[in-house]
């Protein structure tokens, strides 16, 4: 399964590079976010959060990209959703795995995924840790969740413009997708707002074998509204910059 996933992601990357039609713009954040969020709270809806989450918890491969998107949107109303506060924990986990301290990494991963069950780095690193600790079945389960989340994010557009931006839950997700899923380098970082005022990260992706750095767009409007944590929730936006270095350290500026 992992090889097939990487092949499909590689094909997506090739399509992005050569500008092929990916049937993008499938998710219009400004028009659809609120309506999807409301449906996730409706127990009679096919997008009811708890029903979908029970399937996700088992890494149900029949979940559609739209259902996974609804799950992530539903989670943004969760009192534990503080994506900027997760970044430090992600940094610690990456460092612990680099040092082969898998037992402590697992404890921190349990905390991270308890707070955010859709954390991209969390599932990928939990898969790695459990593999090292000899629990292949659970390692495969978490890698399948990683696949489901990444595929859902990449289904929301083609990432090449504000209009076809990828929707992500965290300001770090764009860089983790480039690093862990697309397996490419981040060569530039910026931010901006679309015509509706939605905040985006704009990350340059290094085209392999060339010096070209091509922009990819990630819609982090929802994350930006929760930048200050539960003690200082504000709706105003502050320009920010994140940097994941070669060791996976996330630096904020």
pLDDT attached to residue 113: 98
pLDDT band at residue 242 under the 50/70/90 scheme: low
What are 124-171's pLDDT values in tens digits? 999 999 999 999 999 999 999 999 999 999 999 999 999 999 999 999
pLDDT at site 253: 34
Q: Where would I find the H helices in the chain? A: 2-17, 29-40, 49-57, 65-75, 83-98, 102-115, 120-132, 136-154, 173-176, 221-224
Give the pLDDT score at 210. Answer: 79
| Per-residue pLDDT, 203 | 97
pLDDT tens per residue, range 35-90: 999 999 999 999 999 999 999 999 999 999 999 999 999 999 999 999 999 999 99
Residues in a beta bridge with 205: 186, 214
Residue 169 CA, distance from chain mean position: 6
- 3-state per-residue secondary structure call for 196-232: CCCEEEEEEEECCCCCCEEEEEEECHHHHCCCCCCCC
Q: What is the pLDDT of residue 12?
A: 55
Specify whether the CB–CB gap between 150 and 181 falls below 8 A: yes
pLDDT, mean over the chain:
86
């Amino acid at each position: 399964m992992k090889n097939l996933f990487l092949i499909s992601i590689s094909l997506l990357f090739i399509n992005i590079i050569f500008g092929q039609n990916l049937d993008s713009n499938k998710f219009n954040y400004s028009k659809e976010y609120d309506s999807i969020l409301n449906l996730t709270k409706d127990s009679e809806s096919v997008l009811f959060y708890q029903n979908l989450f029970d399937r996700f918890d088992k890494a149900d491969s029949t979940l559609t990209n739209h259902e996974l998107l609804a799950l992530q949107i539903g989670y943004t109303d969760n009192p534990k959703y503080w994506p900027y506060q997760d970044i430090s924990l992600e940094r610690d986990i990456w460092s612990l795995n680099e040092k082969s301290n898998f037992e402590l990494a697992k404890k921190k991963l349990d905390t991270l995924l308890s707070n955010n069950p859709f954390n991209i780095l969390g599932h990928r690193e939990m898969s790695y840790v459990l593999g090292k600790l000899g629990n292949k079945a659970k390692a495969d389960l978490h890698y399948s969740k990683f696949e489901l989340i990444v595929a859902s994010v990449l289904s929301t557009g083609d990432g090449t413009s504000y209009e076809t931006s990828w929707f992500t839950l965290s300001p770090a997700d764009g860089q983790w997708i480039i690093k862990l899923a697309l397996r490419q380098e981040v060569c530039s970082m910026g931010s901006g707002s679309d015509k509706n005022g939605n905040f985006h990260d704009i990350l340059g992706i290094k085209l392999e074998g060339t010096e070209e750095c091509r922009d990819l767009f990630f819609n982090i409007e929802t994350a930006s509204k929760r930048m200050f944590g539960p003690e200082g929730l504000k709706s105003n936006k502050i320009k920010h910059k994140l940097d994941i270095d070669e060791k996976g350290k996330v630096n904020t500026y």
